[in-house]
Amino acid sequence: MRIIVVPDKEAMGKRAADLVQAEMEKHANPVIGLATGSTPLPLYQELVRRHKEEGLDFSTTITFNLDEYVGLTPDHDQSYRYFMDQNLFNHLNIVKKNTHVPDGLAEDIEAFCEEYESMIDDCGGIDMQVLGIGSNGHIGFNEPGSSLGSLTRIKTLTDETINDNARFFDKREDVPTLAITMGIGTILHARKCILLASGANKAAAIKAACEGPVTAMCPASILQIHRYETLIVTEDAATELTIRVER
C-alpha cells in the first residue's frame, strides 16, 4: 500500500486528480470507478477545474459508480445519480450514456446487478477505482461482515451508516435502508484503486484498514492485498497510523 499524507482536503483533491488524469491519459477509453459522499468532492472540483481551464478531455471516458440507494428516483436530491450529475458530470464534456450509476429503481435487482458486472466487463474492466471509506471501514456500501469475494448486489445498511448519512436527509427515517453496491470482489478486480479519506472521524478506520488484519469486519482492509492501492489521507485522518507514509 502506498500511503500519501497531505495537509488538507484541497491537497487531497489535487493529488487524486493527478492520478486520475494520468490514468485517463493512458487509455483511449479510460474506465474510471467513482464514489459519492463528501470525501471525493475536492477531487471532482479539481477535475472540473482542469476540464474548464486546462481542457482535460472526458469525451471518451467511461465511468461506473460504486453504489446507489434503492428506491430513490434519479432526480431525488439525495440519489447518487443526482449527486454525480450535479457535482461532476454536468460540468464535463463526458457523454452521459457513458456514465453508469446502479439503478436503484430496477424491478429485478438481482438481474440488474448481474448486468452491471457484465457492463463493467464489456468495457474491459475498471482501470482506476476511486474509493471513500466509512467510519466503520466500509467501502462502497460493503458493510462490516460483507463477503470479501462479493460482486454487485443489494445490501442492508448498518445503523452506523444510516446515522452517518442522516445529515443529508430531513429526518433519519428518510434515509433508505437498502442500497445496490459493487462488491468487494468487484472493487478488487479494478486494476488500480485510490482510497481517499479526510477528517478525524476517519482516523480509526484508516488505522484498521492499513495496519489491522485483513478482515471482513473492516472491508477496506482487503485493499492490503490489492496489487495497486494508493491511499491519499489528510493529516487528521492519519493520526493513528504508525507505519511509514509519504508526505
CB-based contact 150:140 (threshold 8 Å): no
Residue 116 has which C-alpha cell?
452491471
Return d(Cα 227, Cα 220) in angstroms, integer.
14
Q: Is 67 a catalytic residue?
A: yes
When asked if residue 39 is in the footprint of ligand F6R (CB under 6 A), the reply is yes
Residues 57-116 that bind ligand F6R (CB under 6 A): 66-67
According to CB under 6 A, which residues from 140 to 199 bind ligand F6R?
140
Residues 6+ apart with CB under 8 A from 44: 13, 87, 88
Nearest-approach distance from CB 195 to ligand F6R, in angstroms = 9
Q: Pick from 7, 31, 1: which is nearest to 130 by CA?
A: 31
The Cα 232–Cα 241 span in angstroms is: 13
Contacts of residue 71, defined as CB under 8 A and 6 or more positions apart, other chains included, come to: 104, 105, 176, 178
Q: Quick check: 35 binds ligand F6R (CB under 6 A)?
A: yes
Q: Please pick, among 23, 46, 127, 143, the residue that the annotation labels catalytic.
A: 143
Does 38 interact with ligand F6R (rule: CB under 6 A)?
yes
Nearest distance from C-beta of residue 173 to ligand F6R, angstroms: 19
Instruction: Tell me if residue 136 is catalytic.
Output: yes
Q: How far apart are CA 238 and CA 233, in angstroms?
A: 6
Nearer to ligand F6R, 140 or 183 (CB): 140
C-beta of 36: minimal distance to ligand F6R in Å? 4
The H or E element containing residue 221 is none
Minimum CB separation of residue 54 from ligand F6R in Å reads: 26
Q: Which residues of this protein are in contact with ligand F6R, per CB under 6 A?
A: 35-39, 66-67, 132-134, 138-140
- Catalytic positions: 67, 136, 138, 143
